[in-house]
Chains A and B, each alone.
Chain A
Amino acid sequence: MTRSLALSIAALLAVLLLTPLIGSTHIDLVRAFTGQSPDYEILFYARFPRVLLASLAGAALAVTGVLFQCLLRDPLAEPYTLGVSSGASVGAVIAICLGFGSSSAASLAGAAAILLLVLGIAWEGRRLSSFTLLLAGVTMNSMCFAIILFLHNLASLSQSFAISRWLMGGIDAVDYATLGWLAAAVVPVCILVISRARHWNVMAIGEDWAASRGVPTNLYITLGYVAGAILTGLVTALTGPIGFVGLIVPHALRLRLGADHRVLLPCSCLLGAAFLALCDTLARTVLAPTEIPVGVITALCGGPFFIWLLRSKRRSLWL
């Protein structure tokens, strides 16, 4: 347990320290740290905030993925299952069509609206129904997608371009104030979720199983979905939808480390952060100065790795 955690922390630290040094322009560290232009600006206002945003987003998506897979007992569950991120997309697209550009306030509002709607639909008096929540989420995803298609159809050429860019998802350099409030929300929620790891273990088997082991299941179901939706909503509002992180990181780590959430959750959090930061570095350097949408990198690099992991694990189970 301690070894996996130590390795994950080391990996994240290495990524946080090394990836800001990589980029289309070479920077001189001495110049950067003595505040000389343009090295200082490139390191501290372009690359570093971007790596931090990618890390926060990766951590939030991976933790949410673990949580939703556990609560729905569905290996295909991911942060976008509840439809919250589609709400964020609708908010962003409406803002673009009304001429505000892509504003994260609008996408946050969209995410919050869909979250409240989905929770309202699945609330059965004193408890949330996982089944209804799943179906409501899938339905919201389809309805939001329909709204986006409709608006996209009406949009002008430049708006249409902005909409496509937003829907691809991507990580941009943001100011430190934005990073600050994102971290102030993401870090405590992640810590809260991780601290309840023992209870998620029991919930991962089933609700009756957990209840007969003394877990107040209604509380934990509500906590899990609301925490996951808040993480997803906040991150999507800033980055747009980035696929695959919330699906592949939890699964890859579960294959390697097993299902104990006391190991799985903190490692997913740390390595989800490292994975997305690394993918974003590739996204901005491989075809520099052209940028590739980071979702393309997460799927193209993560996918084959995951298939390999799946195959090698299966072989060792059989033989």
Chain B
Amino acid sequence: MSFSANHLGFTYGLAEATFELPSTGLIAVVGPNGAGKSTLVSILAGLRRAYSGSCLYAGKEVRDWRRHGFARQVAFLPQFVRVEFPFTAEQVVFMGRTPHSNGWYDSPEDRIAVDRALEITDAAAFRNRDFRSLSGGERQRVILASALAQEPQVLLLDEPATFLDLKHQAAMYQLLARLARQLLVVAVTHDLNLALRYAHHVLVLDQGRLAAAGAANEVLTTELIARVFQVRATIERGWLKVEYDA
């Protein structure tokens, strides 16, 4: 077990959620806009420490973890990263090594971890380019590589596929599913089909509350989608179709 939340809430965005997460697997967090998905993930990431209730990671309250030690365990990918300065893609990935190194120079271990991360995300080809000159898809891969260079046990992602085209969305989720064999991967997503296809578990949030949790194909039913997302949809052979004209 990794995270264990009990009556977890936040002043805005999250009213109450109680759940436990396994130590590996791909968890999709879904729900309509404003349901509290991003708030939940940023609490798990240790970025919103003034939460109410309890949120334990490895048996210890998230707000009581020292940032340094926590960052060696848990990595977080924000929805969008804006870079103002001419950092290269590789330098952005090296930033993931911050919790592992105290020295001035990059250690050999840092280099190995960065090379591996760039290879996993297939971003090595543009490692020396200015991050700001990369396309949305390339940036997302570099950001993911930066999180992987942290060598975390848990990877938290806030809508990792937002700026990706169809091909890269599929590639991103295949990669996350592969990583989820060894890590816990928690991804906020709007794409219920990707959740159905790749996620082992889903957390459904609605108006700041946990509406349902469990295996994707059991939780994401026509009734729940009608209730939470307020659209009519059918599910055929594991694929969800929204009836736009209804």
Contacts and interface: CB of A to CB of B under 8 A. Distances in A.
B215 interface: no
Interface stretch (B6-14, B87-95, B162-170, B236-244): B87-95
B231 to A, nearest CB: 32
Interface string B152-164: 0000000000000
Contacts of A50: none
A35 interface: no
B133 interface: yes
A126 to B, nearest CB: 10
A254 B85 contact: yes
Interface string A22-50: 00000000000000000000000000000
Given A198-B101, A201-B91, A260-B91, A212 B84 contact: no
Contacts of A214: 67-72, 98-99
B43 interface: no
A70 to B, nearest CB: 8
Contacts of A215: 67, 98
B45 interface: yes
Given A202-B95, A258-B87, A259-B91, A212 B133 contact: no
Contacts of B99: 213-214
A180 interface: no
Q: How large is the interface on B (under 10, 10 to 19, 20 to 34, 35 or more residues)?
A: 20 to 34
B95 to A, nearest CB: 5
A317 interface: yes
A213 B84 contact: no
Nearest to B87: A259
Contacts of A75: 84
A141 B149 CA distance: 43
Contacts of A255: 86
A216 B98 contact: no
B86 A259 contact: yes
Interface stretch (A182-190, A203-211, A293-301): A203-211
B104 A208 contact: no
A284 interface: no
Contacts of A259: 85-87, 91
A262 B91 CA distance: 11
A193 B130 CA distance: 25
Contacts of A174: none
A314 to B, nearest CB: 12
B86 A258 contact: yes
B150 A208 contact: no
Interface in A261-280: 262
Interface string A108-130: 00000000000000000000000
Interface stretch (B17-25, B73-81, B195-203): B73-81
Contacts of A209: 78, 81, 95
A212 B91 contact: no
A258 B95 contact: no
A165 interface: no
Interface string A200-237: 01101110111111111000000000000000000000
A73 interface: yes
A254 B86 contact: yes
B71 A260 contact: no
A260 B46 contact: no
Nearest to B96: A213
B58 interface: no
B46 A212 contact: yes
B88 A216 contact: no
Given A204-B85, A254-B86, A212 B45 contact: yes
Interface of B: 42, 45-47, 67-72, 74-76, 78, 81-88, 91-92, 95-96, 98-99, 101, 104, 130, 133, 150
Sorted nearest first, the 10 A-B pairs with minimum C-beta distance are A214-B71, A214-B99, A259-B85, A212-B76, A214-B68, A213-B98, A259-B87, A259-B86, A73-B84, A214-B67
Interface of A: 69-70, 73-75, 195, 197-199, 201-202, 204-206, 208-216, 254-255, 258-260, 262, 317
Given A212-B71, A213-B95, 17 more contacts: A195-B104, A204-B84, A204-B87, A205-B83, A208-B42, A209-B78, A209-B95, A211-B46, A214-B71, A214-B72, A214-B98, A258-B88, A258-B91, A259-B85, A259-B86, A260-B87, A262-B104
22 contacts: A70-B85, A201-B87, A201-B91, A204-B84, A204-B85, A205-B81, A208-B47, A209-B81, A211-B47, A212-B46, A212-B47, A212-B74, A213-B71, A213-B95, A214-B67, A214-B68, A215-B67, A216-B68, A255-B86, A258-B86, A259-B87, A317-B130
